[in-house]
Structure 1
Amino acid sequence: MARRHLRLPFPLLSRNPTPLARHALCTSTLETPAAAVETPEQATEEAVEGAAAPNLPRREEPLHETILHMIRRRPWTTRLETSIRLHSPSLDAPLVHGVISGAAATGRADLALQFFRFAYRRAGFRPEPATFALLVPILASRRMLNHARCLLLDTMPSFSIAPDEATLAALIAAYGKAAIPQEAVKLFRMMPDLGIPRTALSYNAVLKAILCRGREAMARRIYNAMIADGVAPDVSTYNTLIWGFGLCKKMESAVRVFGDMKGHGVTPDVTTYNTLLNAWVRAGDLESARKVFDEMTGAGIERNSVSYNVMIRGYVASGKVEEAVGLFTEMGEKGVRLSEKTFAALMPGLCDDQGKVAEAQKAIDNMAERRLTPKDKSVFLRLVTTLCRAGDLDGALEVHRKSGKFKHVLVDLRQYGVLMEGLCAGRKFDSAVEVLDELMEKGTLLSPKSPVLEASAYNPVIEHLCNNGSTNKAETFFRQLMKKGVDDKVAFNNLIRGHAKEGVPEAAQEILTIMARRGIPTDPESHALLVNSFLKKNEPADAKIALDSMMEQGHLPSPSLFKSVMVALFNDGRVQTASRVLKSMIEKRVTENMDIAHKILETLFMRGHVEEAIGRVNLMVENGCMPDLDKLLVGLCENDRVMEAQKLADFALDRDFDVGFSTYDRVLEALYTEEKTLPAYSMLCKIKNKGGVVDQKGCDALLESLKSEGYSKQADILSRILMENAPSTSKKGKRVAMGA
């Protein structure tokens, strides 16, 4: 009997499975909620977390980091909560605090809150005052203000934990940063009801919150209430008031607060002086700011980098770059630390002054040596712009290259534009193309945050590329600009000219199609180049299409262009197509190059397209361009196209065109020869009715033919006509009358 193998629903990990494995086996038959269904990858991860291989050493890590890793990598489900309980059946305060701190450190305050709720609702954790002191500021700093408020006012009392001032002050400050001062004031006024005594900590928080919105009158009232309540202001209180009044440009109030400090026994510190300095600079009073700056040393306050930065920024904003450079030099001499803010304050003044560009370049080198990245990334753009305007293109290129070496600096797209424009203006086209290559390689052009390049920046380099056999590169560049919404007529026409010159008219035609679809006007020169490009490739049909497109765009082709297309079509055997070009030319009242027109007409007749040919003749006459009908008729007769000649002669007779009698004689003679008796009779009657003179012998022969063929009636009519219009003069030099 064959042995039957049992198939286990789970892999057999070991004889003594781990708690996680036991849990998997026990719950294998339980119905899993839809929200708790996990992917295979998540199930594998869970198994790896819970079941270590028996022979592999497992890296020990703190339990809170393991739990943090789990909640960051997996969706929050009941199975995840079960996994957490398996790792730690009981959650103590250090573990919960560790997970909350770790989640906050990774920017996931939402996970910190979710884990906290799980811990006290379903894992038996009882929060401590330190738990709320940790979590509320985290939520407040991440603008999760409603959650923080609920924890403070609802959750804490439910655990018989009274809110403390520090936690409440953190929430008040967060409302101020979120520009919701009314909520900050509500919390501040609620403190006595919550049994929380107010100290300078909460007063400072609410003062800053309301001063952020410029409410200095309310700040004065709260400050007066602070004094009335017997709460002693500290240095931070006065610094906040000076900062707020300076923000509102209430300098009298700021100076008064600065004077009140000594009256209350509070000594100003370096932050106090720097705040007052900044207030004066913001108010535009550099003289008062300089007095405060100079008084610092006398007051025993050592000026720091912030003090210098504020003054440098003020001098630069006022156009006093020399004074700013002097303070910058003084910082180096005194060993004051140069920071990113120092260079951010100084560089705008150096970059915008052509006389200071050398110092600006030195400052950039200094920043690179100190590995300082400027916070104001526009300094490179401004310096490159200044150097290009001064004609120092090599210097501009050098600054551009250095800007790309700073960490976290994405070179401004406008900087590329200024540089390409300057290089093209200075005839340094090769360098401009290198800058373009760099721009396209980095993909800066397609960044959604990047502005659109100015036409003066991209058109010169596109024109250069199109004039030097690199139209494909120019088109690739311009198509990226098109994705940003650029529809530039000059660039489009340059691309058409470039493709046409390079012998790729199909690509030029595609550009023309795009222009027509977008309603962008074209240049006649571009169309002419496109037509000639097709002609050079021996593609006259496409040349004709391009010529039609040119006329559809409202441009009038030159007589030579019309002729070139007609000649090419004619030589290619496309006579009727050439005839249509001839029609367009005549309708545009272009009357040059009639030699090719005669060839087209003659060939149309020769091929039997009589109606079309006669229509072209009529069109030419109506537009004051009379063809040589004598030459046409004689040529048709010589080529044995008698019936075509007869139809043309009838057309000329019906419209009284000026045709020589000898020409008609020639046609009649051909008809006699071909024994076309009735057509000859009809034509002869028309000639005689108009008073024309023809050869008598031919008439006599025609009469005999009519009689012999049984057309006696026509013979009698012709006989009478000949007798009535007997010639009285010599027919030498006569032509059929036009107005008979």
Structure 2
Amino acid sequence: MLNHARCIVLEDMPKKGFELDEDMFVLLIDSYGKAGIVQESVKMFSKMKELGVERSVKSYDALFKVIVRKGRYMMAKRFFNKMIDEGIGPTRHTYNVLIWGFFFVNEVANCSQGIFAVDRINDGLRLLEEMKSVGIKPNNVTYTTLLPDLCDAGKMTEAKDILKEMVRRRIAPKDNSIFLKLLNSQCKAGDFESGCGSMDRLEKQKFLFRQLLKKGVEDPLAFNNLICGHAKEGTPDSAFEILKIMGRKGIPRDADAYRLLIESYLRKGEPADAKTALDSMIEDGHLPDSSVFRGVKENMDLVAKILEALLMRGHEEEALGRIDLLMSSQCNVNFDSLLSILSEKGKTIAALKLLDFGLQRDCDIDFKSYDKVLDALLAAGKTLNAYSILCKIMEKGGVTSWRSYEDLIKSLNQEGNTKQADILSRMIKGDDKSHENKKGKKKASVAA
């Protein structure tokens, strides 16, 4: 019932001889502001002077809070100048309210207001400098207000200066999310090192990571960006240590963080560490993408690990595409090793596709690998698949010592695939005769 309250203060109380004080008007200014009626708040503030009620920084602060909450940026500047003209000195609270207001306006500004939003941020920074010039030290509220929008506006130099000041004064942000935003922006910009240049590496780790963990802040985005920052600055060991801690605490780790870590190790000429990071990446459920593959192509042990991971997880087409790329680049692929692993692990479809790929391109594959794949297919009850690949092996003239022909023929008959069983039987008999003929010709040649 704001209008009733207003009538009591402005009409009833003066008629009855009650003295009006600043606190009554501060309450009205604040109440109208909370109701969203800014013009009435301004009227109440103006009425104070008309009625002879002295205005101090308290009533100005109440008015500033109402004005900036509604984004009335220019109005706030005018009243601030008026306050200075009246000889009323702003307090830390005054500066915090105004700085918050100028930066809050930046958050609600759209594209068409972009230039004005930047102006408001600059005005906020000028207020900060003025605040310090009159001996008023910013507190955690001030920093909490400044940092997010400085990051969003791309003013990382100013943000870094504020961070250094906070470290020097040992002031932690009031809201941890503010600190995380700063951390994300610095790491994304690839400027993590200079952003914390005032601290040595051990202090950075404690301040940027362990301190957050101690406070119970486990933000995956911030920590993954921290890993990326270390990887970009060429300190993969620090990044890997954070990855391990995240793993122990169950904090999700991103594929991009792993990718940058692997690339960082490779740039430093440490393929063994890159392989360890790759193993961790695969164990964490992430599949290396093409960029990782290109980056580790010169380290064939890593390539084999990637191909194995793709095939084991059912990404056969992607793996075969990688193999095709390697072969076109004159890089050798160990088909025998991959076929052996897949067969032993029961990944029969992946083994079948890989073997078929190798046969089509006349790759160098040991006959023992043929046998392992055929045994795995037969053991898994995939008789038609075994029949199909065996026919291709024989058509290609592949030599195999496989001794389970009869078992395959028997299984085909039992499953009703009598036609395939008959074809395979005649192929095997024809193959045996071919071998006998070749042996006979060889003996005749020797005799001659």
Could you tell me the TM-score, scaled by structure 2's length? 0.67
Q: Pick one of 481, 500, 506 that aligns with 2:276.
A: 506
Taking a change above 3 Å as real, the CA distance of residues 330 and 625 of structure 1, as seen in their structure-2 partners, is farther
Structure 2 equivalent of residue 656 of structure 1: 427
Taking a change above 3 Å as real, the CA distance of residues 422 and 495 of structure 1, as seen in their structure-2 partners, is closer
Structure 2 equivalent of residue 312 of structure 1: 64
> What letter is aligned with 1:386?
D
The 1-side partners of 2:161 and 2:78 are apart by: 26
The 2-side partners of 1:460 and 1:339 are apart by: 38
Alignment of 1:513-552 (within 5 A): 513-515=283-285, 522-525=287-290, 535-536=300-301, 543=305, 547-552=307-312
Is the contact between residue 509 and residue 530 of structure 1 (CA under 8 Å) also seen in structure 2? no
The 1-side partners of 2:72 and 2:78 are apart by: 10
> What letter is aligned with 2:436?
Y
Structure 1 equivalent of residue 237 of structure 2: 472
The 2-side partners of 1:303 and 1:444 are apart by: 44
Is the contact between residue 339 and residue 373 of structure 2 (CA under 8 Å) also seen in structure 1? no
Residue 305 of structure 1: how far off its partner (Å): 0.8
Residue 509 of structure 1: how far off its partner (Å): 1.5
Residue 600 of structure 1: how far off its partner (Å): 0.8
Alignment of 1:425-504 (within 5 A): 428=191, 430-431=193-194, 440-442=205-207, 443-448=210-215, 450=217, 452=219, 455=221, 459=224, 462-463=227-228, 465-466=230-231, 469-479=234-244, 486-491=251-256, 493-494=258-259, 497-498=262-263, 501=266, 502-503=270-271, 504=273
Is the contact between residue 620 and residue 626 of structure 1 (CA under 8 Å) also seen in structure 2? no
Q: Deviations over 1:152-181 (max 9, x none)?
A: xxxxxxxxxxxxxxxxxxxxxxxxxxxxxx
The answer to whether residue 90 in structure 2 is matched with residue 325 in structure 1 is no
SS at match of 2:427: coil
The 2-side partners of 1:585 and 1:427 are apart by: 40
Structure 2 equivalent of residue 17 of structure 1: none
Residue 525 of structure 1: how far off its partner (Å): 4.3
> What letter is aligned with 1:372?
K
Structure 2 equivalent of residue 588 of structure 1: 353
Structure 2 equivalent of residue 289 of structure 1: 41
Q: Deviations over 1:434-473 (max 9, x none)?
A: 69967633134214364736x3x56556446446653332
Residue 274 of structure 1: how far off its partner (Å): 2.8
Residue 346 of structure 1: how far off its partner (Å): 0.9
Structure 2 equivalent of residue 717 of structure 1: none
Residue 561 of structure 1: how far off its partner (Å): 4.1
Is the contact between residue 315 and residue 323 of structure 1 (CA under 8 Å) also seen in structure 2? yes
Structure 2 equivalent of residue 387 of structure 1: 150
The answer to whether residue 64 in structure 2 is matched with residue 303 in structure 1 is no
The 2-side partners of 1:252 and 1:394 are apart by: 51
Is the contact between residue 305 and residue 337 of structure 1 (CA under 8 Å) also seen in structure 2? yes
Residue 313 of structure 1: how far off its partner (Å): 0.9
What is the aligned-residue RMSD (CA, Å)? 5.0
Taking a change above 3 Å as real, the CA distance of residues 332 and 611 of structure 1, as seen in their structure-2 partners, is closer
Is the contact between residue 586 and residue 619 of structure 1 (CA under 8 Å) also seen in structure 2? no
Residue 554 of structure 1: how far off its partner (Å): 2.6
The answer to whether residue 177 in structure 2 is matched with residue 414 in structure 1 is yes
The 1-side partners of 2:158 and 2:342 are apart by: 59
Taking a change above 3 Å as real, the CA distance of residues 535 and 469 of structure 1, as seen in their structure-2 partners, is farther
Alignment of 1:30-49 (within 5 A): none
Residue 311 of structure 1: how far off its partner (Å): 0.9
Taking a change above 3 Å as real, the CA distance of residues 251 and 407 of structure 1, as seen in their structure-2 partners, is farther
Is the contact between residue 67 and residue 76 of structure 2 (CA under 8 Å) also seen in structure 1? yes
Structure 1 equivalent of residue 4 of structure 2: 252
Q: Pick one of 327, 342, 366 that aligns with 1:600.
A: 366
Taking a change above 3 Å as real, the CA distance of residues 485 and 491 of structure 1, as seen in their structure-2 partners, is farther
Residue 304 of structure 1: how far off its partner (Å): 0.8
Range 495-504 or range 293-302, more displaced: 495-504
Residue 308 of structure 1: how far off its partner (Å): 0.8
Residue 363 of structure 1: how far off its partner (Å): 1.8
SS at match of 2:366: helix
The one of the two structures with greater contact order (alpha-carbon pairs below 8 A, sep at least 6) is 2
Taking a change above 3 Å as real, the CA distance of residues 558 and 265 of structure 1, as seen in their structure-2 partners, is same
Q: Deviations over 1:106-131 (max 9, x none)?
A: xxxxxxxxxxxxxxxxxxxxxxxxxx
Structure 1 equivalent of residue 438 of structure 2: 666
Is the contact between residue 32 and residue 38 of structure 2 (CA under 8 Å) also seen in structure 1? yes
Structure 2 equivalent of residue 273 of structure 1: 25
The 1-side partners of 2:426 and 2:232 are apart by: 54
Is the contact between residue 277 and residue 292 of structure 1 (CA under 8 Å) also seen in structure 2? yes
Taking a change above 3 Å as real, the CA distance of residues 656 and 416 of structure 1, as seen in their structure-2 partners, is same
Q: Pick one of 301, 320, 329 that aligns with 1:558.
A: 320
Is the contact between residue 287 and residue 309 of structure 2 (CA under 8 Å) also seen in structure 1? no
SS at match of 2:392: coil
Structure 2 equivalent of residue 339 of structure 1: 91
Structure 2 equivalent of residue 348 of structure 1: 100
Taking a change above 3 Å as real, the CA distance of residues 447 and 587 of structure 1, as seen in their structure-2 partners, is same
Residue 530 of structure 1: how far off its partner (Å): 11
The 1-side partners of 2:404 and 2:52 are apart by: 118
Could you tell me the TM-score, scaled by structure 1's length? 0.44
> What letter is aligned with 1:445?
L
> What letter is aligned with 1:390?
A
Is the contact between residue 586 and residue 623 of structure 1 (CA under 8 Å) also seen in structure 2? no
Structure 2 equivalent of residue 361 of structure 1: 125
Taking a change above 3 Å as real, the CA distance of residues 522 and 496 of structure 1, as seen in their structure-2 partners, is farther
Alignment of 1:130-169 (within 5 A): none
The 2-side partners of 1:262 and 1:610 are apart by: 101
The 2-side partners of 1:614 and 1:288 are apart by: 84
Aligned residues: 397
Is the contact between residue 308 and residue 331 of structure 1 (CA under 8 Å) also seen in structure 2? yes
SS at match of 1:656: helix
Residue 479 of structure 1: how far off its partner (Å): 4.9
Is the contact between residue 38 and residue 67 of structure 2 (CA under 8 Å) also seen in structure 1? yes
Structure 1 segments unaligned to the other structure (5+ residues): 1-248, 516-520, 637-643, 674-694, 699-740
Higher helix content, 1 or 2: 2
Is the contact between residue 143 and residue 173 of structure 2 (CA under 8 Å) also seen in structure 1? no
Taking a change above 3 Å as real, the CA distance of residues 531 and 576 of structure 1, as seen in their structure-2 partners, is farther
The answer to whether residue 387 in structure 2 is matched with residue 627 in structure 1 is no
Alignment of 1:5-404 (within 5 A): 249-257=1-9, 259-351=11-103, 352=106, 353-369=117-133, 370-374=135-139, 377=141, 379-404=142-167
Structure 2 equivalent of residue 34 of structure 1: none
